[in-house]
Amino acid sequence: MRQFVKFFPLLAIVIISLAGTATIEAATGLNPPVKLVWHYYKVTNTCDDAETYIRYQVEKFYKNDSSIAPKLLRLLYSDCMVNGCDASVLLQGPNSERTAPQNRGLGGFVIIDKIKQVLESRCPGVVSCADILNLATRDAVHMAGAPSYPVFTGRRDGGRLNADAVDLPSPSISVDESLAYFKSKGLDVLDMTTLLGAHSMGKTHCSYIVDRLYNFKNTGKPDPTMNSTLVSQLRYLCPPRTQKGQTDPLVYLNPDSGSSNRFTSSYYSRVLSHNAVLRVDQELLNNDDSKEITQEFASGFEDFRKSFALAMSRMGSINVLTGTAGEIRRDCRVTNANYGA
């Protein structure tokens, strides 16, 4: 594990690099090194105001609906953690990546499509959907209270993936299984614990938590690690699933922030008091390192914000396409080969 006390110098390297046109290779905290560039579109003089256009559109959407912050966070996670940050999750079609069971309820597509239309009218064929998704997510979560972390750009868009290629894990896995998954993507326990903090806002379907409420590990009882008051509150919102075709209500991942969709450290306080909604979140207390980080973030919001900045940059660098790899889609919903078809 990267010891927490050693984390801040790594972040400082990232911040210092913002003064020039350094690449991610200059930031030792980002793994693996990839050839992304700070303000790529301005540096290459291909679309100087691309990031300004993106921010303006995100602001317009956010003023009308603050839920775009958790929606875009989930959309970016679902893209980057499956085959890398190549915007493949945005592609439409039967059996496409976005139709996978794990991606049920994904949102934010309309925002990305609108931004792409604006950029195509100003800088046609230049700004990738992958970069738009990363930049729009950063801007939306910043409006919700997260730091405006650096997003290095220059990604290109990948091709279509089938739904069965999606390997996103269940939210009911153990902390060991969760950590193994994050490590398989080149991320560590600090990244995992930090990125799960995105659950400080947003919603989840009742079907993901009914096992914790009624029949945890086939015991016929609720998860003993869940606060009894929370069990009662969630049982009221999530009845047992006994009929085929039964509705699947949504509940807040963090009732403390609720409909405000604010980015806060209350998520970690809830984990410590056994009030986490998802099992994967409550499981953070079952690993010494993730428990220590959880305690640190619960008592220090700025520590969480700084760690979030680096973790998002690290996730945003997973298996990116650069140079002549991939393509720059004209429409984020289809590959160029199918554009206009």
Q: Which amino acids are annotated catalytic?
A: 74
And the tokens for 286?
Answer: 């079952």
Distances in Å between the alpha carbon of 145 and those of 25, 58, 242, 263?
28, 14, 39, 5
CA–CA distance, 37 with 43 (Å, rounded to integer): 8
CA–CA distance, 294 with 95 (Å, rounded to integer): 38
The torsion angles phi and psi of 27, rounded to 5 degrees, stand at -105, 100
Q: Is the dihedral of CA 237, 282, 77, 254 positive or negative?
A: positive
The tokens 């298996």 sit on which residue? 319
The torsion angles phi and psi of 251, rounded to 5 degrees, stand at -130, 155
Q: 174 - beta bridge partners?
A: none
Distances in Å between the alpha carbon of 180 and those of 81, 164, 191, 195, 301?
13, 20, 12, 15, 26
The answer on whether 256 is annotated among ligand-binding residues is yes
CA–CA distance, 205 with 170 (Å, rounded to integer): 12
Q: Are 19 and 13 in contact (CB under 8 A)?
A: no
Distances in Å between the alpha carbon of 32 and those of 12, 26, 274?
18, 11, 35
The answer on whether 120 is annotated among ligand-binding residues is no
Nearby residues of 2 by Cβ (< 8 Å), 6 or more positions away: 10, 188, 190
CA–CA distance, 137 with 73 (Å, rounded to integer): 6
The answer on whether 178 is annotated among ligand-binding residues is no
The residue among 325, 332, 321, 316 whose CA lies nearest residue 141 is 316
DSSP-derived pairing of the beta strands 152-153 and 250-252: unpaired
The answer on whether 97 is annotated among ligand-binding residues is yes
The answer on whether 283 is annotated among ligand-binding residues is no
Q: Is the bond preceding residue 255 a cis peptide, omega within 30 degrees?
A: no
Where is the binding site for substrate, in residues? Answer: 169
Where is the binding site, in residues? Answer: 79, 82, 84, 86, 88, 97, 169, 199, 256
Where is the binding site for heme b, in residues? Answer: 199
Where is the binding site for Ca(2+), in residues? Answer: 79, 82, 84, 86, 88, 97, 256
